[in-house]
Structure 1
Amino acid sequence: MIDKDHAKISLLRQTELLDVSRSSLYYQPRISPTEIRIMNAIDEIYTRYPFYGSRRIKLELEDEYQIYICREHVQRHMREMGLQAIYPRRKPNTSKPGKQHKKFPYLLKDIDILYPNQVWGTDITYIRLKTGFVYLVAIIDWFSRYIVSWGLSATLENDFCIQALKKALLKNIPWIHNSDQGVQFTSQDYISVLEEKEIRISMDGRGRCMDNIFTERLWRSVKYENVYLT
């Protein structure tokens, strides 16, 4: 069977060994219009109030959208969409690494960002569309706030993250690369690209959602100023 979290054998190699079409890995059941409406509403609320957790989002759904679902339903969609409240308090961890994936320490505590390409940060967000949704990954230079590279995907497989990273590395090589502990960034395929360039790897610890605040601000700007105006 295909093991998407395998630390040594990539998905491509596994499909070759098992003679399985790789496209079959990306199949997703069709999402009902009702669920799309719920997910779009959650995203609208989170874009306005990124410090809201599932409890407050549930209340906002009821008050503003007349959507009545249980808190567990809200939490499930937030996990699917990669949303986590930006709040300096313990919250459920929504960026879970694969069981066999290596976790790296956080390297940015008390570090001053003084020059371009000293630190790059990366993250994934959910972009709602009229008929569904896509995922957006971006790599941002923490000094200049410049978007070094980005990518879109209809799934959360790590290929689009790896391609965005490779495009970024054609321009420059950072001293430190920082991300959360999501499976896309802890996968061996992604880590190998960084290690090949001898880039220091930093990962936000549990409960440290404020660490990637530059990227979180970017997501709000992208959604409000570019995506959701039309």
Structure 2
Amino acid sequence: MVNQLKEHYPIQMICNVIGYSRSRYYYHQNPGKENRKEVILKSAIADVAGRYPTHGYRRITQQLRREGHTVNHKRVSRLMRGMGLLAKQRVQRKRTTNSVHGYKRYPNLVKALTMVRPNQVWVADITYIRLREEFVYLAVLMDVFTRGIRGWHLDWTMEKSLTITALEKALLGHTPEIHHSDQGVQYAANDYVKMLEDNDVKISMAAVGKAYENGFAERLMRTIKEEEVDLSEYRNFREVNERIEMFLEEVYMKKRIHSSLSYLTPSEFEEKWRYEQENIQM
């Protein structure tokens, strides 16, 4: 049945409807024409791709190696192409930035800055999450050097309490040298700015209309949307809050590897950096 339907619908959609896992589907495709090792590898690829649907073949390869498979990226690329797992869908975003306000603007302090240590620069952004009949909003702060999540908060509205609460949580454990964001009203508001200034944090902002100047935060939000939000259907606020907490604090921080971190997770990368610094000072 799956083979008949796949000419008209995506494999993932078919598997979701009939309750058939994608890894199981690929595992049973033409078993007589493939050796057992390749069938097992394709099943493993499908499993990893299901957990990390936006990973390209290089990160899929690294994740497979972490899980005990001996494989190179060329073979993974070939198999993923044959399995139809290389194409990515782009998701349109709802606008969450209102930069039309009378608050003070700040220059971009990070444009030519090289990141060399944790808490040198934090980036901040807001995204929306659709429930069945309404929206909720997520504010996140990320450390650029480690890609670690420093603080986050989910709320019903985009009022200033959304970003202030996320910042309060972040400052409980760390303090950045520079806070970088877009020029949205939530980040330029007096209460938010005062909290940064009270902690001796320099304020940096991307220019209006230049989202790429806050590219690290943009990519983080895209990851959250593509790898958690767009794959889920939340019934209520409590459920989305629990799922976002699990994704950010467990999956993203402790399981999701980053090519920019030498294929380590943010937690592993920061722990490794601090260990190396301690040994240098000894």
> Does the residue aligned with 1:48 lie in a helix, a strand or coil?
coil
Is contact 1:95–1:180 with CA below 8 Å preserved after alignment? no
| CA displacement 1:24-78 (0-9 Å, x = unmatched) | xxxxxxxxxxxxxxxxxxxxxxx8156x9xxxxxxxxxxxxxxxxxxxxxxxxx4
Higher relative contact order (CA 8 A, sep 6+): 1
Residues 220-229 or 146-155, more deviating: 220-229
Q: What letter matches 2:129 in structure 1?
A: I
Residue in structure 2 matched with residue 22 of structure 1 by the alignment: none
2:101 to 98, 108, 112: 98
Q: Which has the higher helix share?
A: 2
> Does the residue aligned with 1:216 lie in a helix, a strand or coil?
helix
> Does the residue aligned with 2:145 lie in a helix, a strand or coil?
coil
Whether 1:221 and 2:223 are equivalent positions in the alignment is yes
Residue in structure 2 matched with residue 198 of structure 1 by the alignment: 200
State the alpha-carbon separation in 1 of the partners of residues 167 and 208 from structure 2.
Answer: 23
Aligned positions of 1:1-230 closer than 5 A: 48-49=90-91, 78=94, 81-82=95-96, 94-99=97-102, 101-230=103-232
Q: TM-score, normalised by structure 2?
A: 0.49
> Does the residue aligned with 1:124 lie in a helix, a strand or coil?
strand
> Does the residue aligned with 2:217 lie in a helix, a strand or coil?
helix
Is contact 1:120–1:140 with CA below 8 Å preserved after alignment? yes
> Does the residue aligned with 1:228 lie in a helix, a strand or coil?
helix
1:224 Cα deviation (Å)?
1.9
1:215 Cα deviation (Å)?
1.5
Q: What letter matches 1:182 in structure 2?
A: G
The alignment-based identity, stated in percent, is 44
1:228 Cα deviation (Å)?
2.3
State the alpha-carbon separation in 2 of the partners of residues 200 and 97 from structure 1.
Answer: 22
1:95 Cα deviation (Å)?
3.3
State the alpha-carbon separation in 2 of the partners of residues 159 and 215 from structure 1.
Answer: 19
| CA displacement 1:195-230 (0-9 Å, x = unmatched) | 001110001112221011121111122122112223
| CA displacement 1:91-140 (0-9 Å, x = unmatched) | xxx531422x1111111121101110000000001111112111110000
Count of residue pairs brought into register by the alignment = 144
